[in-house]
Amino acid sequence: MKRPMRLRLLVAVGGLGLLASACGTERPLNTLDPAGPNAKIIDDLFNPIFFIAVIVFVLVQGVLIVIWRKFGVKGAESSADERPGTYADDVFPEQVHGNFKLEIGWTIVPAVFLAIVSVLTLLALFELEEVEAADDDLRVTVVGNQWWWEFQYHLDGNVETAPDFVTANEMVIPVDVEVPLWIESRDVIHSFWIPRLNGKKDAVPGRSHPWVIEASELGRFAGQCTEFCGLSHAYMQMYTEAVTQSDFDAWVAQQLTPQPALTEGDDNVVGQELFVTNCSRCHMIVGVTDTNGDEEVDGWDIYDGDSKFLAEGNLTAGAAPNLTHLMSRETFAGSFFDLYDESGEVNRDQLEAWVRNAPGEKPARNENLQGMPSFAGLSPEDLNAIVDYLETLQ
Amino acid sequence: MSTTEIPERFKGRVAEDDHHYSASGLSHEKLAMWVFLGSECLLFGGLISTYMLYKNKLPAGEIGPNDLFDIPFTSVSSFVLLMSSLTMVLAVSAIARGDVFRNRVWLLTTAMLGAVFIGGQVYEFTTFYNEGAGFTTNLWSSAFFTLTGFHGVHVTIGIIMLMSLFIGSFTGRISQESAEKVEIIGLYWHFVDVVWIVIFTVVYLFPQ
Amino acid sequence: MAADETLEITSGIDPTVERPLGVLTRPSGSTGWRSWLFSVDHKRIGIMYGAAALFFLVVGGCEALLIRLQLARPGGAVLTADQYNQVFTMHGVTMIFLVAMPLGAAFANYLVPLQIGARDVAFPRLNAFSFWCFLFGALFINSSWFLGGAADGGWFAYAPNTGVNFSPSHGLDFFAIGLQITGIASLVSAINLIVTVINLRAPGMTWFKMPVFTWMLFVVQVLLLFAIPVFTVALFLLMFDRLFDANFFNVEAGADPLLWEHLFWIFGHPEVYILILPAFGVISEVIPTFSRKPIFGYPFMVFSGIAIGFMGWGVWAHHMFASGIGPISVAAFSVSTMFIAVPTGVKILNWVATMWGGRLRFTTPMLYAVGVVSMFTVGGLSGVTHALAPADTQQTDTYYIVAHFHYVVFGGVIMGLFSGFYFWWPKAFGYMLSERRGKQGFWVMLLGFNLTFGPMHILGLQGMSRRIQTYSAGQGFDLWNMVSTIGSFFIAIAVAMFVINIYLSRKQSVHLPPVGPDPWDARSLEWMTASPTPEHNFDYVPIIEDLDDFWHRKWGEDEDGNIVRIATAEEVAQDGSRTDVHLPSPSYYPIMLSFGLPIIGYGLIFSLWLCVLGGAIVLGAIFGWIMEPADDPEAAHDHDDHGGDDATEAAALEEEVNA
């Protein structure tokens, strides 16, 4: 009796799973709820095969149940609880040693079936590989870092030159436009994955992997780094936001505008100075001067994007998320924390906690130049000023 | 063979003499050496693949094979190692005939030729190091020293085994009856030589 | 060589012999702890492998419970990220290298010589060396917990995350060196068993009269022989990078991290078959026995096993579909992966066909075997969905994969080997494990297993990544993670029930009649000798006429073609009473030699002086090993007869050591 019960349980579990897959809003990473053509190709390949696999599963379990009911010898073992012994009788079933035709059959039939599946797989594979975008269409270089993502926008599609602007953790794309990506990494292997839009592609240091992303509906699509990348692997998330073309153009225009440098008399100029002193070593803000006061901290050429570590083990500007227009994003620190709460207010407590002691919020080995260091030494006033300043980065 | 009488009920269905049975006809030791060498192929295969991959990835300007290799020198030391295979064959055939003296001579010669090869490798490594290519210098140097050094360790172990046989022949442990010991170590020695032919071709002769 | 046959020596008693300077008298005695430490008996070594593996099963199981506790609820705080990374890494390393592989070795060691009618393996001392080498390597890896933290790079240890920059503790050094040591153990054991199967089959046992179990284990040894060196190279490069600043995985020097992935998976995929084939072998013995039928399609069973062994080498990059190897490689490996499902499917169907029309006794071993057929099918089917390379880019590194391989390695390997435990326990120990408790344990395990890993399919398809230390509420992961955690404790209970069953059954066995040579009416040769197996295995080596020779000695056909009993098992079986079989003597050197290896390992990590000490131990042991009296009376017999030639192997080992 236990076996049919277990089967029902499994069917129930499977059914619940499929049911759960239907409600996408609650399951932001659902792989079975495609929102873009690439994820759709994958889903269309997976679903029928998964369905056939379920049928085979049910068939095998069914046959086992039949065998159980039909060929089990009742009482053959019951009389001897602690000592099962041999069969009580000398009755033998027919001694079948095999059936060549049957076995050839169940070798060839699955092989033929799998050959068909292979053809479908290859068709899907090469369909996914096709890039329709023209050479001068938007391209984004996606760079994995411990433990956040950088998105370098090349509006003219030329990834050899410096990007037009750089943002972090949230990638904005126009809806219904295929955006080719180059996936790269600065430290260890990460994997870029927005499940509802496409499968994943590893970000391998020293390599550039082509990939595409396209959304066929508006919305924010969650992602998660899926290649184990060290301490804060779990905390390395990202979003891709699909917006209308006009919203996208407006967003690009905003991102291209340098952040106005504050001058004497502005309320937040102290915060800006503190930021330049404490943070600009790693964080760039386009339009703001650096510690020397004479050079902008947007110098892309300072940092050629190859390595986070300089020879002497020092960090360089660009080693951490670019904070230009920070407040135009909804999350920070590898998209693990929300920048705004549900009512739309700035999530100030979390932001302060992060600036004060980042490793306490998100595990990192500071001594190995991983993650953001703790600024526990800052006075509460200074901390306040910095966070005030960050809030001005609209 | 056995001292107890086989009970009646087993008669005809059990082996009368179950000792020294080998289904393949090869001794365990020789078979084990062949099997072991099969495994070694994969070990060197992995290292050679690593070298092949990294040889072409050396960044421009880094010190590399073109700056360092002295092909005539390495060719000579490779030739010496190949010759040692010949003397190994002579050692095996000598002991098979029961000629302990010639076996000794050829074992020693083989070991000496191997030592000359190792000496050449030490000289080569030292020269490369002095010219600025140490183990940690770059991608190519790490791969080169690991692959050739690994082979050098194999040759060194071979020399130690040959010398053990050489010494053993004075204590009477190596005789015509135990000629197979020499043969088995010969197998190892030939393998190491053959691997060197591959390494020499891949590392030194393939265009950089 | 057969000159001194009149010596009446039972195994192990050492007569006075001339011995070279510095060489210890061989240890003697067949009881007490020394008889285990210095034993070269394949059965004792097999039992020790099994006991060690069960110990590590508990260790790895506790690690698994910690993982499940941490993930039971969103934002779990049972473990820090650092601890979590160590625990999941060591869970994988322990379960694969220190549980599943040595369990396979336990069964191989105990049963292969028995099933082919041999007295021992070809090289008994090397066999002991393999075990101790494994055990010391395993302890070495686990000692990292107390020496600054365990490895934290995942069992797959992808570079460059395993570089000193990213993993500064010594954990990965222990990983790299420890797995080289256990690798030596596996390699030596593989050579040993390959030679054993090729050379020591009883007269008349042709290749196609070998039991399927022995066949599968033979394929496993061949896989080990070729897979281990590739892994050794990878670990070697990693070790050089970490300890000596080499550049193999130094991206800034131009290195390509995919090198590690390729080397690792060229080993790693055959490794999967190394794990599963022993379990396939076990249930191929269990199912016919309890169906009262011969295995259905013996040639297909054997050839599909060989086919799996071959094809296992051509599918490794299916672990790398998302790693950027290029569409052509992805396409090729996707197709090859698809077709490796064929021989596996053949096996499943042949087991089903063996049961079909049989008279089935659902004893505990049979329950576990049927459990394997049922549960492995799930893992096999989800495996086919991974072979769809585009779909795999959604699934890889999610819990869907975790579910898949646990259905394979738990539902397949662990349940299969539990079937083997229940089946062969009376043979090894002379008493049966309680069937009642065994069946209870089976159902608890089946329930717990499905509760734990079934929901992971759903979690994975919903997008839960692997190896994440925590997840947020609102991602839809809460419910199934909780279910999974609850399930994992059922598995823990089931394992505890197994241990309790051993204890109680042993206690109760004194009141029960002896089990006799053949308690299950089984088919293969190991049942033709007394239980527990006498030290010399067989009084007389049987001459083999048929596949399932033992069964054909018990049962024949009358003129109508009906099966009739020819003889009882007791009449056919040997009683183990013979006392004049010469066996290889115990030796100090295997354990001594293997003891030196981890010391060298500590030396590489902490102080090169320890290397000198370890090296001295190793060299001393090799010297003693070689010099151990070649004219030892025991050595004149059986398989140890070329004592001096173990030198070859010892030297080969030494080379591994130096390497």
The string of DSSP letters for C596-632 reads HHHHHHHHHHT-HHHHHHHHHHHHHHHHHHHHS-TT-
In sequence order, the β-bridge partners of residue A183 are A142, A209
> Over the stretch C283-311, which tens digit does the pLDDT of each residue have?
999 999 999 999 999 999 999 999 999 99
Residue C86 and residue C89: Cα distance in Å, rounded?
A: 5
CA gyration radius, chain B: 23
**pLDDT > 90: percent of chain B:** 72
Instruction: Please name the helix (run of DSSP H) or strand (run of DSSP E) that holds residue C482, with its range, or none.
Output: helix C478-509
> Over the stretch C239-258, which tens digit does the pLDDT of each residue have?
999 999 999 999 888 899 99
* pTM exceeds cut of 0.80: yes
The stretches in chain C having pLDDT less than 50 are 1-20, 630-631, 633-648, 654, 656-659
Quote the pLDDT of residue A302: 39
Interface membership of C51 toward B (CB under 8 Å): no
CA gyration radius, chain A: 29
Give chain C positions within 8 Å (CB) of B133. none
Mean pLDDT, to the nearest integer, of A65-74? 90
Phi, psi of A373 (to 5 degrees): -70, 165
CB count, 10 Å around CB of C31?
8
Q: How many CA atoms lie within 13 A of C659 on its CB side?
A: 33
Residue B4 and residue A322: Cα distance in Å, rounded?
A: 88
pLDDT at residue A32 tops 90: yes
**ipTM (interface predicted TM):** 0.94
Are A125 and C327 a contacting pair at CB < 8 A? yes
> Over the stretch A202-214, which tens digit does the pLDDT of each residue have?
999 999 999 999 9
For A232-241, A269-278, C90-99, C382-391, which range has the lowest pLDDT when averaged over its residues?
A269-278
Could you list the beta-strand ranges (E) of chain A. Answer: 139-145, 148-154, 165-168, 170-174, 179-185, 190-193, 200-203, 209-213, 219-224, 237-243, 331-332, 337-338
Give chain B positions within 8 Å (CB) of C192. 32
For A88-97, A180-189, C71-80, C515-524, which range has the lowest pLDDT when averaged over its residues?
A88-97
- Give contacts of B 163-182 with C, CB under 8 A: 164, 168, 173, 178, 180-181
Residues with Cβ within 8 Å of residue C76, at least 6 apart in sequence: C69, C70, C469, C470
Nearest CB to B142; choose among C198, C246, C637: C246
Retrieve residue C348's tokens: 């499943």
Instruction: Please name the helix (run of DSSP H) or strand (run of DSSP E) that holds residue C563, with its range, or none.
Output: strand C563-565
Are B138 and C8 a contacting pair at CB < 8 A? no
Are C202 and B181 a contacting pair at CB < 8 A? no
Are A224 and C465 a contacting pair at CB < 8 A? yes
Interface membership of A57 toward C (CB under 8 Å): yes
Q: Evaluate the omega torsion of the peptide bond into residue C586 and state whether it is cis, within 30 degrees of 0.
A: no
Interface membership of C202 toward B (CB under 8 Å): yes
Phi, psi of C541 (to 5 degrees): -70, 125
Residue C346 and residue C338: Cα distance in Å, rounded?
A: 14
Retrieve residue C50's tokens: 């099994």
DSSP string of C153-204? Answer: STTTT-TTTTSTTT--SSHHHHHHHHHHHHHHHHHHHHHHHHHHHHH-PPTT
Closest-CA residue to A24 (of C481, C453, C461): C461
Retrieve residue C253's tokens: 């020097």
From the candidates C333, C346, C462, which should be mutated to test the interface with A, based on the most A CB atoms within 10 A? C462
Nearest CA in chain B to C571: B9
Are A117 and C388 a contacting pair at CB < 8 A? yes
> Over the stretch C422-452, which tens digit does the pLDDT of each residue have?
999 999 999 999 999 999 999 999 999 999 9
Mean pLDDT, to the nearest integer, of A262-275? 88
